Structure 1
């Protein structure tokens, strides 16, 4: 670990036993069916207009509020300029998922790029689904082959049009969790099949000040790090390329947040990976939801 590394070691959140599982409670089902007919990216004029209005609000109101709420610092934005020619041809970013608002921080960090976000299908059907769609949310269809084909075709079109796709490769949100959990292969599969780089992003934590800790009961302040692109290895066959890219992307995120990749407690690639109880065996007692 680097000397500035800080681990909040929270026990208030009910982290599941498998590292890609969700604990977030969704209280609404809007009934959308994510099949071959669903518009994974809505190109209608009305929706585009709403997106522009939301982006205006993000820049004027939401980004400043989120910066204060998270105690957010951003490092490494110079990499966006350094690799501009590569990134401007389309990119896939990955990041640890550690707060309800962390995608707001991602959007701020990579401006002027306007990313799309792969998200749990239940998020789109849930109470915040409209807002998630307006900031670029694309549901991942789980139970329909036709839907998955339409989804992948849409993603391919986005990247071929030089778009930016953000993926939480750990598979779920675990708030204030410090170790980098194993990455699922989906991000690398999409990057390899579309021949795009992966841009590693990573949230690390800083010890909160007195006011943030005692008045707002915040466990840590956040720093978002933007790393250098991780390029698919074309000397490997596609399956090995996916595995290699998954591992290198995970290691890159570890390094960004101050963890020696060889000392991270988790394997880099998800394999039905179990939660490792390195500081507690009990989590989420009295948990009443997240915000």
Structure 2
């Protein structure tokens, strides 16, 4: 395979891993990076979704002890069963709406302009969420969540079907607005990502299998590897960061980056491919 293609795959993998779990939209960054790199054909779109499984492997490793204890306790621990039920409930809305609207959204909304607008709007929502009084928090740990809390977060996650919104941003900030602590919202966002991203990755590969050939394996392998490594670094950093910091810096990043994309598009300085 062409070395240039592998380099592009590595760059896209790094972009995926660094942005998947921050509230700044991995899909939005992949669309913009793919546009700049000329890595934006139909096969590349499958690649973008498939390499999410590399990023989610990092979450599985970071949370391995909790996941292992949950699996071991399903037969005897009510807390473990409630945790799995909540993740399943949170996952369900994305499955339904993804199957119903996924094709239409990809056909009409996967454009740099939509991404930039979603970046900016999402940035202002984060600023609003961070200014709410701490007294609004009623759920301090993931294990304190009710099935209704999980359903609400799952419904909010569906907003991330609009590229540029950010799945992690929607679930974390949405969770905070619904009364979850920053830690509980972040943890649940990570746990909810496991079935969501794995399901999306395998479904995309199966649905678009006619586009793929064995010769594409090195490209996907490189993307998965770099997505995993960069996501592992990012997740570990984020869990330390939220212990003492808010998400305000990500809000201003979203707003500034969105304005740059819109400005360069309107001025013609950068030709963003739709």
Same fold (TM over 0.5): no
Bigger fraction of residues in strand: 1
Q: Which has the higher contact order (CA 8 A, sep 6+)?
A: 2
TM normalised by structure 1 equals: 0.28
TM normalised by structure 2 equals: 0.30
